[in-house]
């Protein structure tokens, strides 16, 4: 099949034989590739040596990276070499990556803007609690306080997730109590589980664990949230954690 049949698609596709381009579609031509031309004369990136090696040795290659085109410009792309048909695919992910970064930056900005007023609100509610003497007021203030702390936790988690998405999050390994993390997740998802009358059981065979608390919390929350979402009403969900594995 001539690759011109793939002209309508957005991906660049070219066939490589003996390091030369022997066929290509329209998008590949737009990137600067030409037939009977060395494919290495068009772009480079940090894994170019590995890609060249895979092409010469007829091995599969798949990587996402920023490509630098000699004619000018850069693109964040997924590069795939399929040795079965000697085809090189270049899929431009620049727009997707840009949207992703904008979303992350928006979340980070909103989280930052909310942090100060939320801290003030938490401080003020604590003052009300200190000066309130009636039990009814104390209960109402405590309930409001818990809600503010929950919002604060969500904001902190969003900030950490945004950092992780951008590759700016560094793992912090500490000795933690894994059962306390699991119980924290169960408490945070209590409203969600109550709506479906789902009973959650926890089983933890280890007292301490060397782990990143935020990462463990995120993993447990994602698994348990999905378990609640896809479980029948009036059912039971068990979270089991030991040194080797976590099961929900």
pLDDT value for 68: 95
Long-range contacts of 19-27 (CB under 8 A, 24+ apart): 19/55, 19/56
pLDDT value for 166: 66
Which CATH number goes with the domain that contains 188?
A: 3.30.565.10
Same-domain status, 15 and 79: yes
Same-domain status, 152 and 227: no
Same-domain status, 60 and 134: no
Nearest to 181 by CA among 123, 236, 221, 131: 221
Residue where one domain finishes, among candidates 165, 183, 215: 165
Residues in CB range of 211: below 8 A, 6 or more apart = 173, 174, 176, 178
| Residue 234: domain span | 174-247
Tokens 């997707």 map to which residue?
96
Same-domain status, 7 and 86: yes
Q: Collect the ranges in the chain with pLDDT lower than 50.
A: none
Same-domain status, 84 and 133: no
Number of structural domains found in the chain: 3
- Contact status, residue 6 vs residue 13, Cβ threshold 8 Å: yes
Strand stretches in the chain, DSSP E: 12-17, 20-24, 43-44, 61-69, 74-82, 87-92, 174-176, 199-204, 209-211, 236-241, 246-247
Same-domain status, 73 and 129: no
CA distance 149 to 154: 9
pLDDT value for 167: 67
Which CATH number goes with the domain that contains 118?
A: 1.10.287.130
Q: Which letter does DSSP use for residue 212 in this model?
A: -
Same-domain status, 88 and 101: no
- Contact status, residue 38 vs residue 14, Cβ threshold 8 Å: no
Tokens 């009403």 map to which residue?
233
Distances (CA, A) of 67 to 50, 96, 197, 217: 14, 15, 52, 36
* Concatenated DSSP letters of 88-148: EEEEE-HHHHHHHHHHHHHHHHHHHHHHHHHHHHHHHHHHHHHH--SHHHHHHHHHHHHHH
pLDDT value for 168: 66
Same-domain status, 183 and 235: yes
Nearest to 228 by CA among 197, 204, 203, 202: 197
Residue where one domain finishes, among candidates 92, 111, 133: 92
pLDDT value for 164: 73
Same-domain status, 65 and 47: yes
pLDDT value for 72: 86
Residue where one domain finishes, among candidates 145, 165, 185: 165
Same-domain status, 181 and 243: yes
Which CATH number goes with the domain that contains 18?
A: 3.30.450.20
Question: Cα–chain-centroid distance for residue 168?
Answer: 12
Same-domain status, 88 and 105: no
Structure tokens at 9: 């698609």
- State the CB neighbour count (10 A cutoff) for residue 219: 16
Same-domain status, 160 and 211: no
Structure tokens at 241: 């954690």
């Amino acid at each position: 099949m001539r690759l011109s049949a793939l002209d309508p698609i957005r991906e660049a596709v070219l066939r490589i034989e003996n390091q030369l381009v022997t066929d290509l579609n329209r998008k590949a031509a737009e990137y600067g590739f030409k037939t009977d031309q060395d494919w290495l004369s068009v772009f480079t990136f940090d894994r170019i040596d590995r890609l060249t090696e895979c092409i010469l040795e007829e091995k599969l290659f798949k990587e996402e990276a920023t490509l630098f085109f000699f004619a000018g410009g850069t693109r964040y792309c997924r590069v795939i070499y399929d040795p079965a048909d000697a085809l090189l695919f270049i899929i431009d992910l620049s727009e997707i990556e840009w949207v992703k970064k904008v979303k992350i930056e928006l979340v980070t900005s909103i989280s930052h803007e909310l942090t100060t007023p939320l801290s003030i609100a938490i401080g003020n509610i604590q003052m009300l609690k200190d000066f309130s003497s009636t039990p009814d007021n104390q209960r109402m203030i405590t309930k409001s306080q818990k809600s503010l702390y929950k919002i604060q936790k969500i904001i902190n988690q969003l900030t950490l997730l945004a950092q992780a998405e951008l590759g700016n999050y560094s793992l912090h390994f500490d000795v933690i109590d894994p059962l306390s993390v699991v119980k924290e997740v169960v408490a945070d998802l209590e409203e969600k589980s109550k709506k479906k009358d789902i009973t959650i059981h926890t089983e933890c065979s280890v007292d301490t664990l060397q782990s990143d608390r935020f990462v463990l919390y995120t993993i447990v929350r994602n698994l348990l949230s999905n378990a609640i979402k896809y479980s029948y009403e009036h059912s039971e969900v068990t979270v089991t954690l030991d040194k080797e594995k976590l099961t929900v």
